Every structure is written in C-alpha cells, then in structure tokens.
Amino acid sequence: MPKRGKTLNSQCRELVLKLQDYFERESQNGGPLIPVTQVKDRVSQALGIGAKTLYNINKEKFGASGSEDNVLRTPKKKRRQKPVTGVDVFDADAIRNHIYGYYTRNEFPTRRLLLVSLKEAGLFKGGKTALSKLLHEIGFEYKKTNKRKILMERFDLIIKRSEFLREARKIESWDNVVFVDETWLNANHTVSRSWTDETNNINLKGSNWKRIATDNLSRRFCWKWFL
C-alpha cells in the first residue's frame, strides 16, 4: 500500500510528471520504449536523470556491497564564502593609519602592496576584491589626491643608494673621505592615483627644487687640509 498524507516537494512532483509522461508514451507505443531487461536505462530515461546520478544514488542507498540499507540524504549545496570585509571601528582606524604610513614614507599604496602588508600586520585576511570593497567601506577611493600628482622616489635611485651603502661598508677610515654630490629631483617621476580619503592625514611635501649641491666634510679632515 502506498503511503498517504506524505507531502512531496516540487522536485518530487516534477519526477512524478516525468514518470507519468514516460508511461503514457509507452502506452501509445504499445510496449516498452526500452527493453525491460535494461532497468537502469529505463529509470534514467523515464526520470530524465543521468546514468552517473542514478549510479551515485544506488551507491549511497545500497553501499559498495549492494546489500546495505542506508538512509538517503539531500546533498548540501556548497555555499560561496562571503568576502572578509566586516571590520570594527578599531580595526578600521588601524587600517587607515597603516595606509597613512605609506604616504609618510613617500610610498605609493597600491592594492598589491596593501594586500601583503595588511596581512603581515594581521589587519586583513581576504583577497584583492574584498580589500577593494573594504577600502571603499572605510572611506578610501582610488583617485587623484587633491587634484595633483604624488611625488615618488625613483626606483633606480633606490638601487643606486643600496649599492653605495654596500661599498661604503668596505671603507675602514672615514677621516679622509669627502662627499660632494648633486641631488636631482625628477618632477616627471610621479604617480597620478592612490588610495586616499577625505581627511587631512595625507600630507605630501612638494618642492620646486630641481638641483641641490651637497657636501659633507669631516671637521678633522678640514683641519688637516687647511693647515
């Protein structure tokens, strides 16, 4: 006897209609559309499901041995994880100060750099898209700062300075060393956009100097030189 009073969900009702349609087509055909010996093929065709799906259902119900009687459960859908963007007031302030630190060091806070440094500081755990959303949420935008370009230190000069410092470590006595040099300010080496907010915490010092002559002579060396 079929069970009564059991409510079928929409998916089960669709299968019932498919099964009814299949039997009606067999009735019109005057016999089976698929040989009765091909049971699984008939079930797959009647319900409109794939052979792989039917195999998995049988395996779940009867097990690998085919003699078990397991309870069928509805597979849970894998939910897409939400991006990590929710931060409290204290974390938001810490992230702002972290970004302001880039400008203090005359560095350009790109999303790539922020993604690494914020994770190292333990202030963020998400990805690039989540970081962009978070920066917008706490008031930052990727735009021109105060309608002017941001002055940045040239990377080739950074490399040259590092090379000089490595060579300078080999000098044993600095008494007879005289520094005479020219410092150039490249007005064209700039970046036009950055992550910035509307506060006054981002201050970039500009300069109209294009060439600066510098020297550094030790007092003891000057004394020997002029005597």
Is the pLDDT assigned to residue 18 strictly greater than 80? yes
Q: Supply φ then ψ for residue 148, to 5 degrees.
A: -140, 165
| Banded model confidence at residue 147, pLDDT cuts 50, 70, 90 | very low
Separation CA 69–CA 62 (nearest Å): 5
| Banded model confidence at residue 167, pLDDT cuts 50, 70, 90 | confident
| Banded model confidence at residue 28, pLDDT cuts 50, 70, 90 | very high
Q: Render pLDDT for 58-98 as a digit per residue (tens, 0 to 9).
A: 888 888 888 888 888 877 776 665 555 667 777 888 888 88
Q: Please tell me which residue, 160 or 38, carries the higher pLDDT value.
A: 38
Task: Calculate the CA dihedral of residues 115, 119, 122, 124 and round it to 10 degrees.
Answer: 50
Task: Indicate if 162 and 121 belong to the same structural domain.
Answer: no
Task: Indicate if 17 and 37 belong to the same structural domain.
Answer: yes
Task: Indicate if 185 and 172 belong to the same structural domain.
Answer: yes
DSSP string, 59-74: HHHHTTTS---PPP-P
Task: Indicate if 140 and 157 belong to the same structural domain.
Answer: no
User: What distance, in Å, lies between the first and last C-alpha atoms of the chain?
Assistant: 122
The pLDDT of residue 70:
85
Q: Render pLDDT for 182-218 as a digit per residue (tens, 0 to 9).
A: 555 555 455 556 667 655 455 555 444 455 445 555 4
Position 71 in a domain: no
Is the pLDDT assigned to residue 111 strictly greater than 90? no
Q: Please tell me which residue, 207 or 158, carries the higher pLDDT value.
A: 158
The pLDDT of residue 209:
43
Task: Indicate if 99 and 122 belong to the same structural domain.
Answer: yes
Q: Please tell me which residue, 33 or 5, carries the higher pLDDT value.
A: 33
Task: Indicate if 93 and 134 belong to the same structural domain.
Answer: yes
Position 73 in a domain: no
Compute the average pLDDT of residues 146-165: 60
Extract the tokens encoding 120.
């190292």
Q: How far is CA 128 from CA 58, 97, 112, 113, 141, in A?
A: 43, 19, 8, 11, 15
Position 80 in a domain: no
Q: What domain count does the chain have? A: 3
Strands (E), the chain: 141-143, 150-151, 178-184, 190-191, 194-196, 211-217
Task: Indicate if 15 and 37 belong to the same structural domain.
Answer: yes
Position 50 in a domain: yes
The pLDDT of residue 21:
92
Separation CA 125–CA 191 (nearest Å): 27
Domain containing 111: what range?
89-150
